[in-house]
């Protein structure tokens, strides 16, 4: 479990990024970390892996403080940052260089994912495109069998077929004892993957709900009419019509449109909280 307690963090003395932030992440879930630009999604992930230190408060992963960067913890954490640098060596050499540091690394699993992503095994990393490099890192991350997988904008740079491959690979590689946190702006790419939604705004977690609960309590209706139906709490125009969000009175679960949900929560968090509590 990842526990964040009373987290304060700032890059400068004048403006703090997180104030008294609290969050608990449990195994067996894929969390979607959503927020506008500059709200601190990437910083939160960096704080969790211990490459940034909290000014106050604590981040505990199992028995370790993340800022200690204890090797036993680091071998159980894999972070894919938005930007990365890969050496000018072959994929095989990359595995040979890095795999011994991860106790549970599974080489067969790595090459299985590489095959799924359709990346040539004997390629030199420097000659791969941005998206292909990302595929190598995602495959490596999953093959480490780390229990904490943190991905920052993983679908950036991936072409359309690769996004679908990414979802397949992620679902194939994910286990019930793992926690996966995906920070993204491209919610549509991950709509069917995310199991719990976390929204950050103004240095706070303003929303944290399981998609399962949202499906039960909210209904996302597509309509040609802009006029809201009864009890509609949010309406958004989309290509070819409108999406209305309201309380689910029929009891039949409806698919959650994460992008609409995000816009709705950011616009009026209180209406959502009331609807979800009722």
Partner 1 sequence: MSFSLARFFSLVKRDFIIYKKPVIYLAIGFILIMGFLSWIGYASQNITDFKFWFTWFLMALMGGGLLLTSVAFWEFKSPAGRIQYLSLPASNLEKFATRHIYTLIVYPFLILSLFTVLYMILSSFYPNISIGSEDRFMIKMFMKTYVLAHSVVIICGIYFNKYVAPKTMITGWAIFFISLLIGLFLVRIIFHDMFSGFFQKKMDIDVTMDAEFQEWLEIGIQDKLNAILLNVLPIFFWVVAYFKMKEKEV
Q: How far is the CB of 39 from partner 1 (least distance, A)?
A: 18
Select the span of 98-106, 107-115, 180-188, 244-252 touching partner 1 (CB under 8 A): 98-106
Whether the CB-CB separation of 45 and 152 falls below 8 Å is answered with yes
The nearer residue to partner 1, 78 or 272, going by C-beta atoms, is 78
Among 18, 31, 102, 151, contact with partner 1 (rule: CB under 8 A): 102
Cβ(234)–Cβ(245) below 8 Å: yes
Determine the size of the site formed for partner 1 (CB under 8 A): 28
Give yes or no for a contact between 228 and 235, defined as CB atoms under 8 angstroms apart. yes
Site for partner 1 in 112-151 (CB under 8 A): none
The number of C-alpha atoms within 13 Å of 178 and in the hemisphere containing its C-beta is: 25
Closest to 131 in 3D by CA, of 93, 166, 179: 166
Q: How many residues does the chain have?
A: 278
- Asked if residues 124 and 88 have their Cβ atoms less than 8 Å apart, the reply is yes
By CB under 8 A, name the one of 12, 13, 14, 100 that touches partner 1.
100
Helix (H) or strand (E) holding 114: helix 107-116
Give the nearest distance from C-beta 152 to partner 1 in angstroms: 10
Query: Under rule CB under 8 A, which residues in 7-66 are in contact with partner 1?
Result: 46, 49-53
Q: Specify the residue, 88 or 239, whose C-beta has the smaller distance to partner 1.
A: 88
Nearer to partner 1, 75 or 263 (CB): 75
Half-sphere exposure (CA, 13 Å, Cβ side) for 110? Answer: 21
Q: Which residues bind partner 1 (CB under 8 A)?
A: 46, 49-53, 69-71, 74-75, 77, 79, 81, 83-85, 87-89, 93, 96-98, 100-103
């Amino acid at each position: 479990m990842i526990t964040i307690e009373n987290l304060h963090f700032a890059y400068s003395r004048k403006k703090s990024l997180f104030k008294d932030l609290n969050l608990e992440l449990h195994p067996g879930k894929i969390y979607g970390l959503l927020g506008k630009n500059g709200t601190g999604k990437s910083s939160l992930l960096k704080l969790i892996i211990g490459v940034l230190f909290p000014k106050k408060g604590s981040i505990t992963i199992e028995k370790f403080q993340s800022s200690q960067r204890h090797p036993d913890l680091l071998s159980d954490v894999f972070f894919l940052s938005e930007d990365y640098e890969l050496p000018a060596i072959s994929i095989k050499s990359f595995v040979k260089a890095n795999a011994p540091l991860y106790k549970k690394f599974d080489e067969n699993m790595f090459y299985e994912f590489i095959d799924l992503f359709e990346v040539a095994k004997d390629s030199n990393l420097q000659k791969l495109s941005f998206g292909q490099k990302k595929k190598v890192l995602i495959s490596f991350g999953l093959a480490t069998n780390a229990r904490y997988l943190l991905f920052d904008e993983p679908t950036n740079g991936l072409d359309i077929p690769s996004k679908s491959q990414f979802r397949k690979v992620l679902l194939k590689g994910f286990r019930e004892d793992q926690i996966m946190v995906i920070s993204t702006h491209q919610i549509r790419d991950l709509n069917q993957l995310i199991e719990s939604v976390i929204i950050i705004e103004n240095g706070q977690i303003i929303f944290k709900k399981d998609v399962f609960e949202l499906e039960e309590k909210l209904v996302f209706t597509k309509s040609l009419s802009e006029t809201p139906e009864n009890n509609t709490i949010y309406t958004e125009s989309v290509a070819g019509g409108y999406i209305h969000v309201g309380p689910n009175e029929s009891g039949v679960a409806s698919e959650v449109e994460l992008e609409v949900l995000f816009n709705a929560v950011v616009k009026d968090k209180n209406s959502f909280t009331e609807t979800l509590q009722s």
